[in-house]
A and B are shown apart, each in its own frame.
Chain A
Amino acid sequence: MSEFDQIFVTLKHWLLGQLANVVPGALLPVLSALLSIAAIIMVFATLFAIMTILERKGLGRIQNRFGPNRVGPFGFLQPAADGIKALIKEDLVPRAADKVVHLLAPVMLVVPALLVYAVLPIGRNMVAIDFDAGLLFFFAVGAASELAVFMAGWSSRNKYALLGAMRAVAQMVSYEIPLILSTVSVVMITGTLSPVKMVEAQVGQGGWLPAWFVFTPWGFAGFVLFMIAANAEANRSPFDLPEGESELVAGYFTEYSGFKFALFFLAEYLGLFAVSGLGITLFLGGWQAPFPALEFIPSWAWFFAKLLGLIVLFIWTRGTLPRLRVDQLMNFAWKFMLPLALINLLTAAVWHYMPPGSPRWLVCSGMVVGPYVLLGRGLLAGKHVAKRIYRYAE
């Protein structure tokens, strides 16, 4: 592969080689780990800054207004201004709050959000730790953030915060099941839990399409389920009940200010990038180019191009869909997504055992579309679905 593709790997090796002359050899593994950590924190924190401005401008466009346009050219220095503001703001802690837990909660939220990047392959040979059980690590560490959300809501001693935390935890626990089940089909097909090997399993072309899993019936269904569940895990619209402004002020982080408030946003967006990165790794071929002719573009650039694509999708969804009700949210997870995810496992098994060809496509597509239509119709049966008529508020 081209040198440009491996430029960061080469750079790290060169730096370590230079450092080997200065520091004792026992420290080198630690320094190597620190270099990877520094790169991950810098890159994804910058991406966070870029996304905040993209999101505010994108939402502004969708809502027919300008969005931030005063700080710097086209308002693109707004994140810097926001960061400085968050740093110099007074840090308010309610008198009744549980001080220790209140302080620990935002930290506990950011740490797992950063830890999960350790197993994401963001380019060829670019993964911090190649765990055998990488996928398990991702979900195990991600599960720790639920407790942090609860800590934030409970320690604030505020009704809105506690209600928001209860909603958030219930929602994250519910949507974790379809999230994990939709990835199990990929584990079944590739026979590994390592994200690096999952990317390697999607090398090459299948017909005129790249051999990415999203271009198979079960992979497409799995990807859609995964993205919906990821949206809910990140507490973003239309699943933003835990922080629904019109009901709960700001949900579980109502009583936070200054930089702790910024940490909540950072953790939320870092979690969103991480779960999108996992979706890319599992279904969209990871860092691979879609066609061999495009392989001159380095692998990390492909990863971030796909990531930006998914981010735009998330912003678009947020600007388009209204918020769900609590019962709708739970019904959707348990009665619709869970059965579809289970059926998708069966579809993946059928796909694996049928010989390649059009019968396989036909059968598996039927197994995806059929349950979707039947389940959707069945759940809507007997329900009155029509334009809502407002009797008093018009």
Chain B
Amino acid sequence: MTPAFLIIAVLTIVAAAGAMTLRNLIHCALAVAVAFVGLAAAYLQLNAQFVGFAQILVYVGAVAIVIVFAALLTRGGEPSSEAIFSKTWFAGLGVTIAVLGVLTWAITRSVVTQRETAPAPEVTVKQIGDALMTKYVLPLEVIGLLLTAALIGAVIIAMRDEVKK
């Protein structure tokens, strides 16, 4: 466990906890964005450049913006005066502990822990591009077609101006 990983992990977990516990909804959204950045940093630390940059581009650049816009457009800016913890927090705690217990049990008993860890592959962006263009070309084309169709469809819906009387 390197110091860099520790810093990134603490940052991500603290930001994620903040996103759950902060009173102000916009603060929560900003904390989520920090957690996204922490995840991207973790990817970059693993030498996964493409995933790391894509994480920032998609999650910080788009998803976080959508979240704050939704929060702004749907309610007022004042934080609610209700308690942060719901009245049934003890039930939630029980469920959490149960899930954690089952997961820990499953992981410790699984065959994955006995396997030797493979050496980390050095994947360049070029290799990802090659794989996308050869082995995974059909899924890529389908997704590309779908997204382009969605983009053009949205524009066509907006194309016709309302005719004023």
Contact = CB atoms under 8 A, between A and B. Distances in A.
Contact of A150 (B53, B68, B151, B155): B68
B72 interface: yes
B58 to A, nearest CB: 9
Interface in B17-66: 24, 26-27, 30, 33, 37, 49-50, 53-54, 56-57, 60-62, 64-65
Q: How large is the interface on A (under 10, 10 to 19, 20 to 34, 35 or more residues)?
A: 20 to 34
Contact of B56 (A132, A141, A177, A192): A141
Given A132-B49, A133-B49, A133-B50, A140 B61 contact: yes
Interface string B133-165: 000000000000000100110110011000000
A326 interface: no
Given A154-B72, A193-B125, A147 B60 contact: yes
B124 interface: yes
A335 interface: yes
A338 B53 contact: no
B126 interface: yes
A342 B147 CA distance: 12
> Max chain A CB contacts within 10 Å: which of B33, B60, B61, B72?
B61
A339 interface: yes
A151 B30 contact: yes
Contacts of A101: 26-27, 30
Interface in A124-168: 131-133, 136-137, 139-141, 143-144, 146-147, 150-151, 154, 157, 162, 166
Contacts of B33: 147
A140 B65 contact: no
Given A143-B56, A147-B33, A342 B148 contact: yes
Contacts of B27: 101
A326 to B, nearest CB: 14
B5 interface: no
Contact of B155 (A140, A143, A176, A335): A335
Given A150-B65, A151-B30, A173-B65, A144 B60 contact: yes
A169 interface: yes
A334 interface: yes
Interface in A334-387: 334-335, 338-339, 342
Contacts of A193: 125
A150 B127 CA distance: 37
Contacts, number: 79
A136 B57 contact: yes
A133 B47 CA distance: 12
Contact of B53 (A140, A146, A339): A140
A224 B148 CA distance: 22
Contacts of B24: 98
Contacts of B155: 334-335, 338-339
B151 A146 contact: no
A50 B164 CA distance: 48
A236 B44 CA distance: 33
A337 B17 CA distance: 41
Contacts of A338: 151, 155
B50 A144 contact: no
Contacts of A339: 152, 155
Contacts of B62: 143, 173
Interface string A312-347: 000000000000000000000011001100100000
A184 to B, nearest CB: 11
Contacts of B26: 101, 154
Nearest to B60: A144
A375 B122 CA distance: 46
- Nearest 7 pairs of A and B residues by beta carbon: A143-B61, A140-B56, A140-B57, A140-B53, A136-B53, A132-B125, A133-B125
Interface of A: 98, 101, 131-133, 136-137, 139-141, 143-144, 146-147, 150-151, 154, 157, 162, 166, 169, 173, 176-177, 192-193, 334-335, 338-339, 342
Interface of B: 24, 26-27, 30, 33, 37, 49-50, 53-54, 56-57, 60-62, 64-65, 68-69, 72, 77, 124-126, 148, 151-152, 154-155, 158-159
23 contacts: A101-B26, A132-B49, A132-B124, A133-B50, A137-B53, A139-B57, A140-B54, A140-B57, A141-B56, A143-B56, A146-B61, A147-B30, A147-B60, A147-B61, A147-B64, A154-B68, A154-B77, A157-B77, A162-B72, A166-B69, A173-B65, A176-B61, A339-B152
